[in-house]
Structure 1
Amino acid sequence: MPSWIKRLGHERLLILFALLAIVLAIVDPRPLTSYQRWLQLPTLAGLLGLMICIQGIRDSGLVQHAAAALIERVHSLRGLGVLLVSATALLSMVLTNDVSLFLLVPLTLAIGSISNLPVMRTVVLEALAVNAGSTLSPIGNPQNLLLWQYTHLPFLEFMRTMLPAFGVMFVLVLLLTLVWMPRGRVILHAEDIDGHPVSNSQAILSVLALVSMVVMMEHNHAVLGALLLLVPFALLESGTLRRIDWLLLATFAAIFLGLGHFAELGWVQRALASINLENPLTLYASGILASQVISNVPATVLLLRHAPDPMALAVAVNVGGFGVAIGSLANLIALRLAKQPKGARLLHLVSIPFLLVCAPLVYLVMRWLG
């Protein structure tokens, strides 16, 4: 059996959502334009561009070099955990949640390979941190960008509205980091340090490519940006393209098609119309629950036309990024980048209780300040 078929057999999410998309296409056929809209080609192109850049940075040896330099300066496991979690949250505000994870998770893996840092524990905290950090910024995640464009609020006004929710989330993530990370010192496994020199040409190409890709995404030219990246890497670093996780890209395409179609089924729309979203608690609970079922970006699209208060919806769907892995695509990216055994199990053991604590606290703080 070819190796790619064996790999495909382990892609449960890809198979599940591909089957959902196929079944819905058969029982509820739609025009081609609908499938093009659901596919979210700019989002997929942005992911592809980021995957190319980060794979190039990893291949250059730059990440491994940065990991060794970092742990030479931070000697406490808790201190290292707080630093990585804080950096992840901060980056997610300005570079979006997926870019933040594509940068920090490989660094975390590299640190874990040469030290006693608990890798999966740190990656779970980073997944929580990007959901918290990206909440504050209008450009931090796709749902915020959509709602910012819909409301036409000034940038700083959007941030002011989201600040209380972000504050609760980030404080909880920091407290969890301090409690959950081990107390001990960082132990460096010197024998595992990769002594190969950094490939300066590949590192420069990949870093410049990352900067250009982020700029293109910010200006809504993700498709063009990804196409422009494919040419130099195909000519100069073809091995990097072969090591791209193409099945991850296919998984997101299947999720977008399956969930996008599901959200627009007639009975789903009728059920939404019967819900009293004028009630703040109902809107809040609906945003969180919908995110747990169909992820927070499709949940935003689904509820936006029915929600009387778009910013209350913004708070709800950002909180809904915690909980089950499907709640936020950032969770799926973190798990896929980490590739750790039982990673999904550990994420759910932490993220679901985190949601149960975070959701009522955020609601009470928002109501108290509102």
Structure 2
Amino acid sequence: MVVKVAIGAGHGGFGATPGKRTPDGEYEWDFNNKVVLAAIKYLKQYQGVEIMRLDDPSGKTDVPLSTRTNKANTWGADIYVSCHHNANTGVWGDWTGTETFYYVGSAKGKKLAQLIHAKVLKAYGLRDRGIKRGNHLYVIKNTKMPAVLIEGGFMDSTIDIKKLRDDKVLDAAGKAIAEGVAEYFGLKKKMGGQSKPSKPSKSSTKSSKGSSTKWTGQILRKGDSGPIVRSMQNMLISKGFSLPKFGADGHFGDETERAVRAAQRATGIPVDGIAGPQTYRALRNYSGSSFRFRHWNGSVIRNGERGKHVKELQDRLLALGYKLPKYGADGVMGSETANAVRKFQRDAGIKVDGIPGPETKKSLEGRG
């Protein structure tokens, strides 16, 4: 099997693209280029890979996006990878994080994004901004193959710039892309004329008592992926901690972390969003909630509303670990209670609006 990988560094260097630089004047393309060079280097270690670079390798011109996508489409690329680094205001700030875009509606695109994002996230070591809808992005929208666009970090971040200026980090990011592509296609690595299967992701090989696919308490955290993560997600779902957006997809992202935190709150163990032996034991012994509201019938509680039913809601939120530091359970529906409701709704995987109603009541009764 031969797979065709189209890859490019976003924009151009040497002032070829207006803007697209750090507050100190470093060009985004310079960072992007180092990641692409590393990705190509490591992709060449696998059997059956053809690579087309879509940007100008010299950085002296900014190849038009239409030219890039047309080349990839005409060549018949199997996947398209675009490497970028983000910017916010253009002046230094403390925003941070790595994110990956894909075409929502493409199952293959989503899978590619998940595999690459999980590995790239570890390489940069920055906050997980998640995989996101990229249907509006030209290279995502106008390619005929699964495509991803990676924003490794913020060029105008006092946090992220330390990573971007570290060539070892950018090399690791390129390697992460190559490993994600290899896992996506199931590529075999070249090795002295012989080949061996590319190593599965680290999280899928974590094991205790010899199991590599069933979760029995192995430590899992955001960014991990593989069958063992899917096993953990299935346990969460079976215990009533829903994953409405992505389900048991084998990727430990924001939604799974929220569900883990909700499970930890419900079972009364320390809340850190990391699934390990204590979380496993707590989930295994968890049989759901016997709690029922006495005064609140599930009717919508509006801002400014008062009464026993509001205090009962507040008491329930406090019992589950959602703080009301200023007013506590005072029986008044205010902004502090609404914020706690939003946090609970987000953890429960239901509509987040800060307004308690029937769905929120049902979820509150189904926790711990």
What's the TM-score, normalizing by structure 1? 0.25
More helix by share: 1
What's the TM-score, normalizing by structure 2? 0.25
